[in-house]
Amino acid sequence: MEYYGFNDPLYVQFFRTLWQHISFDFPPLTSYPGLTSKEIIADTFPVSLQLGLLAMIVALGIGLPIGILAAAKKNTALDYTPMSLAMVGICLPTFVIGPLLALVFGVWLGWLNVSGWFSFSDRILPACTLGLFYAAYIARLTRGGMLETLNMDYVRSARAKGASEPRVVLVHALRGGIMPVVSFFGPALAGLISGSFVVETIFQVPGLGRHFIQAALSRDHSLILSTVLFYAALIIIANMIVDIVQILLNPKLRYQ
């Protein structure tokens, strides 16, 4: 009790904890004696970051091409089929997709490991589970944005000057068409983080999300506090970067 400072009056504890977090001198943890949140975060955040980045690659790699294709071939089978699948992808929660993927590819087909975080193949299932929802969402956003830009005058001009159809779609229209996707990145990051709680629990990934859940279950208040602060800082920085990128991509926003 003395070691953790729980005997002090509440206001002393409050200001001491506040100062400790400002000066990056974190208090010792009750659930991991001898360690501080700094070590836990430094140890496990790279894993979560890797998972998040892989999931983002999956999401963009699947979502963007599908969205562009669906917009370019509007109202054909190439539009309806992927878009209905995307609707399914959005409705299915992560904790249903995750175990089902593990069941099919891990247990029945035996191609991949169901849990663990050792080789590259262990990263495929968690990244896909986390990425599929965003792939579906990005596909819908891309389709919407592309449909809007494909009707713009400058796209007609590009066609009129004789640019080939792939060039019109991929060069002229894409730059305006992916704007909704860029602005989705801020909320997507927040979602990737909360999604990683579930995915890390399903696939036993040694990431920060699991520590957060564990801390919540075992009432380790200083670990909860520093993890939440860390996530909040991360999200605010990411939102700021998204805002800056948006202004760089879209001159219209610069004067508002």
Partner 1 sequence: MIDRIESEETQARSPWKDAWLKLSKNKLAMFGLGFFATMVALCYASPLFYPYSPTNQTLSFGATPPLTMAIEMRYDGQSEEADEVITPKEFADVYASDAQSEIARIDKGEVIYVDGLVFQKSDRIHILGTDSHGRDLLARIFQGGRISLGVGFIATFVSLLIGVMYGAVSGYMGGKIDAFLMRVVDVLYALPFLIFVILLMVVFEESDHQLLLIFLAIGAVEWLTMARIVRGQVVNLKNQDFVEAARATGVRTPTIILRHLAPNILGPVIVYSTLLVPAVMLLESTLSFLGLGVRAPNASWGTLIKEGAEKMMVYPWLLVVPAIFFSLTLFAMNFLGDGLRDALDVKSSKD
Q: Which is nearer to partner 1, 108 or 255 (CB)?
A: 108
3-state helix/strand/coil string of 134-190: HHHHHHHHHHHHHHHHHCCHHHHHHHHCCCCHHHHHHHHHHHHHCHHHHHHHHHHHH
Q: Which is nearer to partner 1, 137 or 212 (CB)?
A: 212
CB contact set of 27 (below 8 Å; sequence gap of 6+): 4, 5, 16, 17, 20, 36, 222
Q: Which is nearer to partner 1, 112 or 173 (CB)?
A: 112
Q: How far is the CB of 228 from partner 1 (least distance, A)?
A: 6
Q: How far is the CB of 221 from partner 1 (least distance, A)?
A: 8
End-to-end CA distance of the chain: 54
Q: How far is the CB of 95 from partner 1 (least distance, A)?
A: 4
Element of type H or E holding 255: none
**Triad 166, 81, 174: Cα angle to 5°:** 30
Contacting residues toward partner 1, per CB under 8 A: 87-88, 90-96, 98-100, 102-103, 107, 114, 186, 190-191, 193-194, 197-198, 201-202, 212-213, 216-217, 219, 224, 228, 231-232, 235-236, 239
Q: Which is nearer to partner 1, 92 or 174 (CB)?
A: 92
Total Cβ atoms within 10 A of residue 119: 10
Q: Which is nearer to partner 1, 101 or 178 (CB)?
A: 101
Q: How far is the CB of 27 from partner 1 (least distance, A)?
A: 17
